[in-house]
Chain A
Amino acid sequence: MSSRENVLGRIRAALTDVPTTESPQDVPVPRDYRRSHAEGDLVDLFAERVADYRATVVRADVTQAAEVIGRTIAGRGLTRAVVPDGFPPQWLPAGDRTWLRDDPPLGVARLDAVGAVLTTAALGIAVTGTIVLDAGPGQGRRALTLLPDYHLCVVRAEQIVGDVPEALARLDPARPLTFVSGPSATSDIELDRVEGVHGPRTLDVLILTETS
């Protein structure tokens, strides 16, 4: 007997108290919990909660994107960054800067050395201050937002949802997903929180709003 049959057989033998007529759907799951715990303006809440993790939040009108991005990375002393395909070119600041494309794919050593990446996001979650990446346009594969030490992530205001249930309902589970809530952190040494272990040590989040 294969282990598969063995394990399944043991599970079935263990469940003799479950009537054979019962199906999984017959076991009730009360979903009385809220779809969202967000109150007030979603963008304000998102900005506040992201800042809670000591990530830097910048808000700007979409027409100012290039200017604000230029100022932000200049403030970090950066002159080059990886920019995944699909990142809106009109958001890239002009001037003497190097934008690296991931085509052909950059090696890990190169990514490690580059030091910065600019991406968009799939969505933002206001209550938890989370940005979600799904490798869609402007986000690139997962390694791009992992190895560089600096990540500037652009979230459009209309991409911000209230809470976790709303976010999951919008996401495609077939895509590789990364939920980012602040920079990486550890409390393993005498319970002192240290930010920046393996992921990018600096996370700037730019929220773009559209004034029509």
Chain B
Amino acid sequence: MSGTMDGRGVVFLGSPAFPDAARTALADTRLRTNLRRATTTIRDKRLQVTGELDDWEDLRAAGEAVKRRTLRHLDVHLLRLEESVTRAGGVVHWAADAAEANRIVTELVRATGGRDDETREVVKIKSMATQEIGLNEALAEAGIAAYETDLAELIVQLADDRPSHILVPAIHLGRAEIRDLFATEMARWGRPAPEGLTDDPAALAEAARLHLREKFLRAKVAVSGANFACADTGTVAVVESEGNGRMCLTLPETLITVMGIEKVLPSWRDLEVFLQLLPRSSTGERMNPYTSMWTGVTPGDGPRAFHLVLLDNGRSDTLADTVGRQALNCIRCSACLNVCPVYERTGGHAYGSVYPGPIGAVLTPQLVGVEHAASLPFASTLCGACYDACPVKINIPEVLTHLRAEVVEAKRAGRRLPSPEALAMKAATAVLVSPARLGYAQRAAALGGRALARRGRIGRLPGPFRGWSDSRDTPAPPTESFRTWWRKNREGEQG
């Protein structure tokens, strides 16, 4: 693919210069091929199922309006949610930042256990909020194993403990690699892969089923995110495909849900809009296989204890910007990623955040402060495809332009703009098209991001990409695993 995408302003991809390293190039070719295939497939499905609804634009308008109603009175809705959840037997916690959220969850898990030396574990449903705060690392530090149960996350987690292995999301991995990973790594975490495992996707899914089932059946605590929570009824909803969500939400005795404060909806009725918008925009299905909804606790059915952790972590700052505020409308459908010409070439790693793609380019700088991620608002061609695809009508190009102005303003005002950032802005072209260099930058970002997640607000540690908190899909292999690094460095980092 060359540097021209759609004839509009091409910002980053003018002169692709791909790395010489054969391995990196190979990984990159597969990444690009897989990404293109994935985005094209999902894009087509999405267009088909949204096209089935002749009032799609009305639904988008309603979705946007509900989110506007939510955000303009966020305090009111959150208090109402707290009251409803409490009335239904749940317990609500408030977390100002990542460190506090991690501390709350850790203490809740500890409180469920028996003796102190008992090995503790939790099962987890893939959740962006918990990735954002680095919860798994915080739990690990407290001696609690967090098992991801989404198949892609399981694959990544199994890969994570092999320092030599490329840290990539499942989309980068072929079936043969997944087979090898299962065959060698599963036994270390629980039930081993069956003898003679083949690389047939059905066989691999079956191996994952058996491996995880053992964990589901004995799990005492689950941690989840939330897609929606209705203020009036206290009902929380999780949307998923595999059934691992249902397992986590149903079988353990204690359920801990970490939810960004912007996920609240004013009323139960509002779900009628979002349960149409989300599956169709996300996976291009009329409805995803499973949606679970629960209100507090139900005696005799599911967890006996339910904790809802309301997470700010930069969201109230984002709320203060009347233009940027709309980024909080996001329902994490990923439609904007699938239509984005930049994302299709770079993959999620380029954005250096758990929030990749166009939404990441507007959300991350706002969550961490624009001076800490000054290059991200430039990671776009402003072609507008994301705005058209967005089910809640976030005008991403508008917010990008607005944030770019802020970056320039910050520089002009002589605000402390770290020089590595300025460098990063200039070098952004090279970084975005060069996985090797990106990987290099990413490692720094990942280490900084993870370490600081336990300290508080993202964006406090030095480093060229401060605040970029997750890089599980870094395309180049780190020279040492995070664990190794952590062991070597934790003494000096203890704050």
Contacts and interface: CB of A to CB of B under 8 A. Distances in A.
B241 to A, nearest CB: 5
Contacts of A186: 151, 205, 241-242
B217 A112 contact: yes
Interface in A186-211: 186-192, 194, 196-199
Interface residues on A, range: 35 or more
A148 interface: no
Contacts of B241: 184-187, 197
Name the residue among A29, A129, A164, A179 with the largest chain B CB count within 10 angstroms: A29
A74 interface: no
A107 to B, nearest CB: 9
A111 to B, nearest CB: 9
Contact of B62 (A23, A32, A105, A183): A32
A180 B245 CA distance: 13
Interface string A25-65: 00111111110010000000000010001000000000000
A188 B170 contact: yes
Contacts of B38: 191
Nearest to B53: A37
A4 interface: yes
A168 B230 CA distance: 13
Contacts of B37: 191
A4 B94 contact: yes
A198 B316 contact: no
> Which of A23, A142, A169, A198 has the largest number of chain B CB atoms within 10 A?
A198
Contact of A185 (B53, B73, B289): B289
Interface in B133-160: 149-152, 155
A135 B301 contact: yes
B470 interface: no
A24 interface: yes
A76 interface: no
Interface string B434-466: 000000000000000000000000000000000
A127 interface: yes
Contact of A18 (B41, B65, B72): B72
A33 B171 CA distance: 36
Nearest to B52: A37
Contacts of B155: 188
A13 interface: yes
Contact of B247 (A105, A163, A198): A198
Given A24-B77, A164-B275, A165-B272, A175 B298 contact: yes
A141 B304 CA distance: 13
Contacts of A184: 241-243, 289-290
A39 B24 CA distance: 52
A49 B247 CA distance: 25
A4 B308 CA distance: 13
Contacts of A182: 289
Interface residues of B, number: 93
Contacts of A175: 295, 298
Main secondary structure of the interface of A (DSSP, over half): loop
Q: Which residue of B38, B88, B298, B317 has the most chain A CB atoms within 10 A of its CB atom?
A: B298
Contacts of A34: 53-55, 58
A96 interface: no
Interface stretch (B280-288, B372-380, B486-494): B280-288
Interface stretch (B206-214, B339-347, B409-417): B206-214
B175 to A, nearest CB: 5
Contacts of B170: 188-189
Interface in B15-52: 34, 37-38, 41, 52
Contact of A14 (B250, B273, B320): B320
Contacts of B53: 34, 37
A57 to B, nearest CB: 16
Contacts of A33: 55, 58-59, 62, 273, 276
B305 interface: no
Given A29-B65, A189-B170, A8 B58 contact: no
Interface string B50-75: 00111100110110011011001111
B244 A18 contact: no
A135 B298 CA distance: 10
Interface of B: 34, 37-38, 41, 52-55, 58-59, 61-62, 65-66, 68-69, 72-79, 88, 94-96, 100, 149-152, 155, 170-171, 174-175, 178, 201-202, 204-205, 208-209, 212-213, 216-217, 230, 233, 235, 241-244, 246-247, 249-251, 261, 266, 268-273, 275-276, 285-295, 298, 300-302, 310, 312, 316-317, 319-320, 322
Q: 3 tightest A-B contacts by CB?
A: A199-B243, A198-B243, A14-B320
11 contacts: A15-B319, A30-B58, A127-B286, A129-B286, A129-B287, A142-B249, A142-B250, A181-B285, A188-B170, A196-B205, A197-B209
Interface of A: 2-4, 6-8, 10-15, 17-18, 22-24, 27-34, 37, 49, 53, 105, 108-109, 112, 125, 127-130, 135, 141-143, 146, 163-165, 168-169, 173-192, 194, 196-199
Given A15-B320, A130-B287, A184-B290, 4 more contacts: A32-B58, A129-B287, A181-B285, A189-B201
